[in-house]
């Protein structure tokens, strides 16, 4: 922690699906302007936690606070309005709309009209290096471009907190480095706070200042990247996994 008041405060969140405990009493804070990562093996509950934060479903118990507001159980659109932008691990482009229109939908939230939203959308397309694709249908994008589109859309809603769900997957190492640089610059320039789920350790290590590790729905470790890679509990749960 940097000492600042946490922007996101997850306290004692549990969630079960038909008896399967996906999250068990998870508590985790993200400070303002921090870049934090959530890692863990497949099925650890990372995306479930994202969905709870973003309001896709309410937790069985526990609370989610953004700044001063308790946002537990609010609808996804209200949570977006509260200041959380998210991407989807399984990308969800508006396939029949162009790339520019996709981002315009997101930008409309803070804009007075369509013209203003389109201008703002162009800015985010440039930022994510998608400006040459502006007029293409989202259905025709490659997977890495779709991932970028997810980020551009989430950013265009003007969030205080950005939730990124595996946006580096499928990117080449050089592209990963550029995305990392872009996100870091965004944080430095705009004071954005970022929480990311990532399997690409190259990105996690380069980007995050703090990491929480989930395993079987429980937080088994939390700390700086240096500490996490030496934590025996983390190493054990990843045993046989070549990523760490």
Partner 1 sequence: MIRPGDLVRPLSPAGVWLGALVLLVLLLLPYWGGSYVMTVATTVFYLALVGQSWNLMLGFAGLLSIGHALFVGIGAYTSAYLFTAIGLPPVIGVLPAIALAVLMGLLMGYLGFRFAIGGVYFALLTIAFAELVRIVIDHVSWLGATEGFFLQVSEADRHGIDLVNLRGAPEMYYYLIMALALGALVLCRYLLRSRLGYYWQAIRDDESAAEALGVDVLRYKMYAVAISSGMAGVAGVFYAFYQNSLFPEIVFNIERSIEATLGSIVGGVGTLFGPIFGTFILTPLGEIVTEAIDLLKHWHVIDPETKLDGLKLLVWSFIVVLIVLFKPNGLWPWVCEKLRLIRPGEER
Q: Could you say which of 3, 19, 113, 232 contacts partner 1 (CB under 8 A)?
A: 113
In the shown chain, the binding pattern of residues 157 to 196 toward partner 1, with x for contact by CB under 8 A and - for none, equals x---------------------------------------
CB count, 10 Å around CB of 128? 23
Q: How far is the CB of 66 from partner 1 (least distance, A)?
A: 14
List, in order, residues 6 or more apart from 100 with CB less than 8 Å away: 118, 121, 122, 125, 134, 135
Q: How far apart are CA 207 and CA 39, in angstroms?
A: 13
Q: Could you say which of 10, 71, 108, 180 contacts partner 1 (CB under 8 A)?
A: 108
Q: Could you say which of 41, 67, 73, 76 contacts partner 1 (CB under 8 A)?
A: 76
Q: How far is the CB of 102 from partner 1 (least distance, A)?
A: 8
Assigned token pair, 99: 């790339």
Report how far apart the first and last C-alpha atoms of the chain are (Å, whole number). Answer: 24
* Candidate segments 37-45, 129-137, 185-193, 211-219, binder of partner 1 by CB under 8 A: 129-137
Contact call for residue 238 and partner 1 (CB under 8 A): no
In the block, which residue shows the tokens 């789920």? 197
Distance of CA 198 to the CA centre of its chain: 9
3-class DSSP string for 121-166: HHHHHHHCCCHHHCCCEHHHCCHHHHHHHHHHHHHHCCCCEEEEEC
* Candidate segments 10-18, 29-37, 83-91, 170-178, binder of partner 1 by CB under 8 A: 83-91
Contact call for residue 153 and partner 1 (CB under 8 A): yes
Assigned token pair, 165: 């769900």
Angle between helices 143-156 and 114-127 (to 10 degrees): 130
Contact call for residue 22 and partner 1 (CB under 8 A): no
* Candidate segments 6-14, 72-80, 167-175, 198-206, binder of partner 1 by CB under 8 A: 72-80
The smaller minimum CB distance to partner 1, of residues 46 and 153, is found at 153
Q: Could you say which of 9, 65, 92, 184 contacts partner 1 (CB under 8 A)?
A: 92
Q: How far apart are CA 211 and CA 35, in angstroms?
A: 9
Contact call for residue 95 and partner 1 (CB under 8 A): yes
Q: Which residues bind partner 1 (CB under 8 A)?
A: 54, 56, 75-77, 80-81, 85-86, 88, 92-98, 100-102, 104-106, 108-109, 113-114, 117, 134-137, 153-154, 156-157
């Amino acid at each position: 922690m940097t000492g600042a008041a946490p922007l996101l405060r997850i306290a004692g969140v549990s969630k079960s699906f038909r008896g399967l405990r996906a999250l068990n009493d998870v508590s985790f804070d993200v400070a303002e302007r921090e870049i934090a990562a959530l890692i863990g093996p497949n099925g650890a509950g990372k995306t479930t936690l994202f969905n709870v934060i973003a309001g896709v479903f309410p937790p069985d118990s526990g609370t989610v606070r953004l700044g001063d507001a308790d946002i537990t159980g609010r609808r996804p659109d209200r949570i977006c309005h509260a200041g959380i932008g998210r991407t989807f691990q399984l990308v969800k482009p508006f396939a029949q709309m162009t790339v520019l229109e996709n981002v315009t939908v997101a930008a409309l939230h803070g804009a007075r009209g369509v013209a203003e939203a389109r201008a703002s959308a162009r800015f985010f397309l440039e930022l994510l290096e998608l400006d040459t694709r502006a007029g293409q249908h989202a259905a025709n994008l490659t997977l890495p471009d779709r991932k970028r589109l997810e980020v551009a859309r989430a950013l265009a809603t003007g969030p205080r907190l950005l939730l990124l769900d595996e946006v580096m997957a499928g990117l080449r190492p050089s592209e990963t480095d550029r995305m990392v640089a872009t996100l870091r610059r965004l944080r430095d320039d705009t004071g954005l706070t970022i929480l990311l789920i990532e399997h690409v350790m190259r990105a996690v290590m380069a980007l995050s200042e703090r990491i929480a590790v989930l395993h079987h729905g429980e937080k088994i470790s939390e700390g700086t990247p240096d500490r996490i890679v030496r934590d025996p509990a983390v190493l054990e749960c990843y045993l046989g996994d070549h990523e760490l």
